[in-house]
Structure 1
């Protein structure tokens, strides 16, 4: 397998963490989708990373699709329950973490890709409200549990950890560590895992 991505993307990091946890071999190829000479569209018509090129040459897109598939490839470190409500709950954690990042990414793009006179403060405030409400919800859902889905490390933790890591990287002004001590404890614990250490955004 070959993973096309960047070193900063939280969506790419999520897939890289899962690949590491599952002990799967792959090639990692860097691609800057914002560069004028990007060739990302040859793999993904949406122009996004990550893109996962399979052994038969077909391409898988969307990190949520990828990680669900990768979890089926080996019994090592099962990250998703086999079925039912427990599986849906883990996927809901992932959806909330990814959605929080989606909102923050839109703010970053507004700030960095548009001239100041064209930026919408109202739009950015709307997106940042989503970020803060999502973080509050994640903290409330986590409570005093050891991990997001209870006592076991799962894809929920991978998604939340990658989201928090990206916010710390791109939005250091957001004081989530001070505001949500339980999220800070979870992130610090996840950061000790080799899969997280080796994929820190840069």
Structure 2
């Protein structure tokens, strides 16, 4: 399998980390949907990151759908709880983390793709409120019910929460103050120290497995 997309995308990064945790081997090609649009288009005409090129050449996209397929391939590990109460809670946490990713990216795009004089402040204010609400709810969830954070026990809820928080702190630290989210900060520090996270560092580099 080959994962296409840059690790500065929280969606690409959650896939890269999850594939490792599931014990699935893959290659990674770091392509920007902006700077490498024609090259990306040759692989996937929709130009959506992440893109997964399966072993038979079929193309999958959307991180959640890719991870559903990856989970079906994995034989010895699951990142989703089997019991309904635990599954329900993890799906809530994942939903909050994905909402935070979506709103953070909307702010980044609004700032970086529009000229300053074209920024729509009412829209930015609304999206910022949604972003802060998502991280506020995640902070509360971690306070009430801490997430596992070892390579053997972390679930998709933990992966997605850690990736979302790290992305926001890299791109929008002034919008999402770390001082207001101590439980997320502590969780992120522990998650980022895991080998599966450090092998897929945030940025424009490529995934590098520990064994080579």
Whether TM-score is above 0.5 comes out as: yes
Structure 1 residues 184 and 42, CA gap change in structure 2 (3 angstroms): same
Structure 1 residues 89 and 46, CA gap change in structure 2 (3 angstroms): farther
Partner of residue 141, structure 2: 141
Of stretches 117-126 and 80-89 in structure 1, the one that deviates more from structure 2 is 80-89
Partner of residue 185, structure 2: 184
Structure 2 gap ranges (5+): 204-212
**Deviations 1:54-99 (Å, cap 9, x if unpaired)?**
1111111110111222123224442112363432432332221111
Of stretches 77-86 and 185-194 in structure 1, the one that deviates more from structure 2 is 77-86
Q: Alignment partner of 1:71: what SS?
A: helix
Q: Alignment partner of 1:72: what SS?
A: helix
CA RMSD of aligned residues (A): 2.0
**Deviations 1:159-190 (Å, cap 9, x if unpaired)?**
00000110111112235421111111111111
Alignment of 1:69-88 (within 5 A): 69-82=69-82, 84-88=84-88
Give the TM-score normalised by the residue count of structure 1: 0.90
What is the distance in 2 between the residues matched to 1:175 and 1:99?
14
Of stretches 102-111 and 89-98 in structure 1, the one that deviates more from structure 2 is 89-98
The answer on whether the counterparts of 2:107 and 2:124 sit within 8 Å (CA) in structure 1 is yes
Structure 1 gap ranges (5+): none
Partner of residue 113, structure 1: 113
The answer on whether the counterparts of 2:128 and 2:175 sit within 8 Å (CA) in structure 1 is no
